[in-house]
């Protein structure tokens, strides 16, 4: 991916919240690569709810930087999906950010709900 | 503050990254109430850099919800500013989100830099 | 409303796209003040679709500026809702931006659909 | 480019303001392909200020859609840079949006300022 100028704040670096957008986009791409579309989940009444985000900011991406976002999924408990993610600047492979994102899947009444389609996203 | 519709995703709830915007806005308002403007810091060459964010998502804000964001600042070490923050729905005072945001202040060469103006933001 | 720092770009001024968020928020507040909630419209299967936006940028809002957004609604044809809007800086009442936003209401099959609830938003 | 889920609103379609981000990103890529970096312009004290945006929304992009953004630059007067832009869905080549974006370049005192570097961005 590539930093877009509007994602930078007046310090000329990517705004802190924008990294969460990058992380989310990579997670959704990951799910899609396993046949799970976020839009379809929403239609099925499955809500992937974030439980906790731990984000370590190492260095700042700047306007025009190209970067990669990695995703490693695990299932630490029956009702948790966890994603370990890293953002690295493409040019130097430097680590810019590390995150552990813990989520759960719930139905519209906010009860844990892991339909079969979510079972095989790990590998 | 009040949730704006464009901040909601297709699940009808506030997008996870947007909470970081709310938290940041509240921190900057807090700093300003202590006489420290983020825009002026930028002009002075002081960059408040995020080091770590720990965010616990309890419940989701929805379109139209009104809410408050609290800020408690501390200085856990010489080169750290830490902010404990909570987001509560105004109507019910329910806790929606808790966060611990750890930052540092650096100059343009990325060296720790805490000018006098930053000294008295705690109280 | 007040400009939030994350809405500013590296020029230190509000990013051009963000003004559309301000305009939308004001339109939705306007609709709500007439008893029409955007979230409820979505549930009813009514989609307010933008048809055309004409935006004249006069001056730039900066970090921390407070401002007002006005809304004047009209119905130039049977299937059009039009909103004339202005953004003014609160301190000086200076005109920052003028916009004419033309929308239509459609159902999920993309056909014009103006349920009764939309009839009395003009006054 | 590809629509990111967080860019969609609760109607499941790309939020109106987000298209301006797409258009801006394409313009900046265009300038860069002519050797003009937006970040460097900012450092030189050149601000590309939007004067007017006319945007016709034809159809809505949805989550996961891939699309292209075109840019045609012209110089309608000495102090105007104009960009005609189109967004088309990649799969079908359908026109989703058409825009005419009129800008000017100013210095920090808000006076028209077109340094040599801006002279050869047209063809």
Task: Indicate yes or no: pTM above 0.95.
Answer: no
Topology, domain D5-121: Thiol Ester Dehydrase; Chain A (3.10.129)
Searching chain B, which residue's CA lies closest to the CA of residue A19?
Answer: B17
Average pLDDT across chain C, whole number: 90
Searching chain B, which residue's CA lies closest to the CA of residue C22?
Answer: B4
Residues of C in contact with B21 (CB under 8 A): 4, 6
Q: Does domain A5-114 have CATH number 3.10.129.10?
A: yes
Residues of D in contact with A37 (CB under 8 A): 63-64
User: Is C42 within 8 Å of D17 when comparing Cβ atoms?
Assistant: no
Among the partner-chain residues D5, D12, D15, the one whose CB lies closest to the CB of B6 is D15
Q: How many of the other CB atoms lie within 10 Å of CB of A47?
A: 19
Handedness of CA C91, C93, C96, C102 (dihedral sign): positive
Q: What is the 3-state secondary structure (H, E, C) of chain C?
A: CECCHHHECCCCEECHHHHHHHHHHHHHHHHHHCCCCHHHHHHCCCEEEEEEEEEEECCCCECCCEEEEEEEEEEEECCEEEEEEEEEECCCCCEEEEEEEEEEEECCCCCECCCHHHHHHCC
- Domains of chain C by residue range: 5-113
Residues of D in contact with C21 (CB under 8 A): 17
> C10 at the A interface (CB within 8 A)?
yes
> D44 at the C interface (CB within 8 A)?
no
Q: Does domain C5-113 have CATH number 3.90.1150.10?
A: no
- Over residues D57-94, the pLDDT tens digits come to 999 999 889 999 999 999 998 889 999 999 999 999 99
Average pLDDT across chain B, whole number: 90
User: Is B5 within 8 Å of D10 when comparing Cβ atoms?
Assistant: yes
Searching chain A, which residue's CA lies closest to the CA of residue C63?
Answer: A10
Average pLDDT across chain A, whole number: 90
CATH superfamily of B5-112: Hotdog Thioesterase (3.10.129.10)
pLDDT at C3 over 70: yes
User: Is A57 within 8 Å of B42 when comparing Cβ atoms?
Assistant: no
pLDDT at A45 over 80: yes
* Strand stretches in D29-123, DSSP E: 47-57, 67-77, 80-89, 95-106
Residues of B in contact with A13 (CB under 8 A): 47
The catalytically annotated residue of D5, D9, D65, D93 is D9
pLDDT at D42 over 90: no
List of residues 6+ apart from A45 with CB closer than 8 A: A107, A108, A113
Question: ipTM of this predicted complex?
Answer: 0.90
Q: Are D15 and D5 in contact (CB under 8 A)?
A: no
Confidence of residue C123 (pLDDT cuts 50, 70, 90): low
Verify whether residue C9 is a known catalytic residue.
yes
* Gap from A56 CA to chain D (nearest CA, Å): 22
User: Is D10 within 8 Å of B15 when comparing Cβ atoms?
Assistant: no
pLDDT at B123 over 70: no
User: Is B24 within 8 Å of C5 when comparing Cβ atoms?
Assistant: yes
Q: How many of the other CB atoms lie within 10 Å of CB of A1?
A: 16
| Distance (Å) of CA C88 to CA C7, C34, C107 | 17, 23, 34
């Amino acid at each position: 991916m590539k930093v877009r100028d509007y994602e930078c704040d007046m310090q000329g670096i990517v705004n802190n919240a924008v990294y969460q957008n990058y992380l989310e986009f990579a997670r959704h791409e990951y799910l899609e690569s396993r046949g799970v579309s976020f839009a379809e989940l929403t239609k099925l009444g499955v809500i992937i709810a974030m439980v906790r985000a731990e984000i370590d900011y190492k260095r700042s991406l700047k306007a025009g930087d190209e970067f990669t976002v990695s995703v490693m999924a695990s299932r630490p408990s029956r009702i948790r999906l966890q994603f370990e993610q890293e953002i690295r600047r493409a040019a130097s492979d430097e680590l810019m950010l590390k995150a552990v994102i813990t989520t759960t899947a719930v139905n519209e009444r906010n009860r844990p709900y892991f339909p079969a389609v979510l079972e095989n996203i790990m590998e």
